[in-house]
Amino acid sequence: MLAGVLSVQFGSAAAALLFPRAGALGVVALRVTIAAVLLLVVCRPRLRGHSRTDWAVVGAFGLALGGMNVLFYQAIDRIPLGPAVTLEVLGPLLLSVVTARRAASLVWAGMAFAGVFLLGQGSFGELSLAGAAFALGAGAMWAAYIVFSSRAGARFPRLDGLALAMGVAALVSLPLGVGAAGTTLLEPEVLGIGLAVALLSSGVPYTLELLALRRLPAATFAVLMSLAPAVAALAGFLVLGQTLSALQCVAIALVVGASAGAVRAGGAGRK
């Protein structure tokens, strides 16, 4: 599970290295399209025998997946990786709070918002309001992704729902990427880094997460996922040379702690 978190965040850091050449939309197109091709080839999902509701669910899943990637890459094009993931993780955190419906969850939500407030003290002017808004939008799409991922998993066998949704996401992101980057996407070096980003951000972590879920309770899995902002800050520092102030580090720690606490509270409420 930890290896999966590391893979995703260092994949995002590697993607940021491509922004000067292919732009955020171009990198998203490469990542999603390559990941879609790999998943469709490996899974070979069955296309017949599904109802209109099944296709509506997988379509919504794909739109959430594509929107999440487009908005998140727009965010990390404007603000450091650590703060971007900190703001993005508020989406799943709020989803956890709403579904838990327990008083303790409100405490964790307050702790998370305190972290975001501190992040703003570092100032959102420095972070860029547009970048912060894109990260929050990505968080909303992440929450939708979780909901529709669960529904698609109940309607499609194996990874068929994910493979089809990734295909929908590719149809959404590829025209945007081609329009923004053009033939730059076909340059061998750009394609090579795009393949690495697709593997690090999609192929490897999805495989590792499936293996982890066979061995770990879902609540433990989700708590480990809450480490994403801290790992993102580390990846941003090591790969991109992005530094954070002490206040921003405290803010990230508060959001990580709130995410872990909210998941624990939700798990306790379902026992």
Min mean pLDDT across 45-59, 115-129, 243-257 is at: 115-129
Residue with token string 């972290």 = 115
pLDDT for the residue 119 = 63
Q: DSSP of 169-209, one letter per residue?
A: HHHHHHHHHHHHHGGGGGSHHHHHHHHHHHIIIIIHHHHHH
* Residues 6+ away with beta carbon under 8 Å from 261: 104, 107, 108, 111
Task: Give the pLDDT confidence of 51-85 residue by residue, as tens digits.
Answer: 899 999 999 999 998 999 999 999 988 888 878 88
**Which residue from 193, 209, 99, 189 is spatially nearest to 143, judged by alpha carbons?**
99
pTM over 0.75: yes
- Report domain extents, the chain: 2-269
Choose the most confident range, by mean pLDDT, from 61-70, 109-118, 151-160, 251-260.
61-70
pLDDT for the residue 270 = 44
Min mean pLDDT across 28-37, 162-171, 239-248 is at: 239-248
Task: Give the pLDDT confidence of 172-192 residue by residue, as tens digits.
Answer: 999 999 998 888 988 898 888
Of all residues in the chain, the percent with pLDDT exceeding 70 is 82
Min mean pLDDT across 45-49, 229-233, 261-265 is at: 261-265
pLDDT for the residue 256 = 75
Task: Give the pLDDT confidence of 152-179 residue by residue, as tens digits.
Answer: 888 888 788 888 999 999 999 999 999 9
CA distances from 11 to 72, 109, 199 (A): 13, 28, 8
pLDDT for the residue 60 = 94
Q: What is the mean pLDDT of residues 93-120?
A: 69
pLDDT for the residue 271 = 43
* 95, 226 Cβ separation under 8 angstroms: no
Burial of 69 (0-12, 13-18, 19+ CB in 10 A): buried
pLDDT for the residue 134 = 94
